[in-house]
Amino acid sequence: MLGLGLLYRLYERRLLREVRGGVMPRHIGLILDGNRRYARELGFSDLLEGHRRGADRLERVLDWLEELEIRIITIYVLSTENLSRPPEELQALLGLIEARMRSVATDPKIHAKGVRVRAVGQLDLLPRSVQDAIRAAEEATAAYGSFFLNIAVGYGGRQEIAHAVQALLLDRSRRGMSLEGAAADVTPEAIGKYLYTYDLPDPDLIIRTSGEFRLSGFLLWQSAYSEFYFCDAYWPAFRKIDLLRAVRAYQQRKRRFGT
């Protein structure tokens, strides 16, 4: 009998052939959920180990996405609600984010792939050291334009929309517009220019791991016409076949864009 490992590889190759024959999403959003539950189920005393393994998994997933020539990725790492977690847990998580962002600035793979890294969210809510690490990663990769990795940290979709409207109105006020004139200028197209990802196409496909069926505030504006795929696997256990199944499901859908 064929071993499970061989069967897995054969299935993976078949899926890969299938999806390569279809239209690829340009931009994928990933909600990296289930890190703590993964750690609990494996009996880790330190739940941060789930986040560490999740960060390691991201590196492999980026390789898979590059293989599929999908080069715009937005990942949901930390929501504004997550900032209210117990201080000890939050401090450890922020420390991991800081360490990973610092490593990005000098990571040979990041530079070899030409990955432009950008953080989106209320970065002013983060500790100064985390902000500095983010800035270092952004500056080190600012010249790249072949692969875009957006990291949503301290992010909330409602807050992003509110900030975009505020920025639009303040901009119009600086131009000397009346309140009525500024209000008349509040259109979907105008608001879109003030979003964090204003210069990138909206996500075609959003994948959430861990079996949860909700967005949790992720890219609320940008996901209006996205396709969604919900995967049972916890993020640290996310496999290449899970990604390929998600892309295949996307390719099998007829996108209507509200029509």
Of 82, 107, 150, 242, the catalytic one is 82
CA distances from 179 to 167, 169, 182 (A): 14, 8, 5
Give 54's contacts (C-beta < 8 A, 6+ positions apart): 32, 35, 38, 235, 236
Please count the other Cβ atoms lying within 10 Å of the Cβ belonging to residue 198: 11
Residue 123: closest CA among 148, 99, 159: 159
d(CA 117, CA 63): 15
DSSP for residue 255: -
User: Quick check: 98 and 130 in contact, CB under 8 A?
Assistant: yes
* Residues across the chain: 259
Q: Which residue has 């100064």 as its token pair?
A: 128
* Catalytic site includes residue 35: no
d(CA 34, CA 91): 19
User: Quick check: 110 and 75 in contact, CB under 8 A?
Assistant: no
Sign, Cα dihedral of 22, 56, 236, 8: positive
* Catalytic site includes residue 33: yes
Please count the other Cβ atoms lying within 10 Å of the Cβ belonging to residue 42: 13
Q: Which residue has 């977690």 as its token pair?
A: 85
Of 33, 107, 204, 242, the catalytic one is 33
Q: Catalytic residue numbers? A: 33, 82
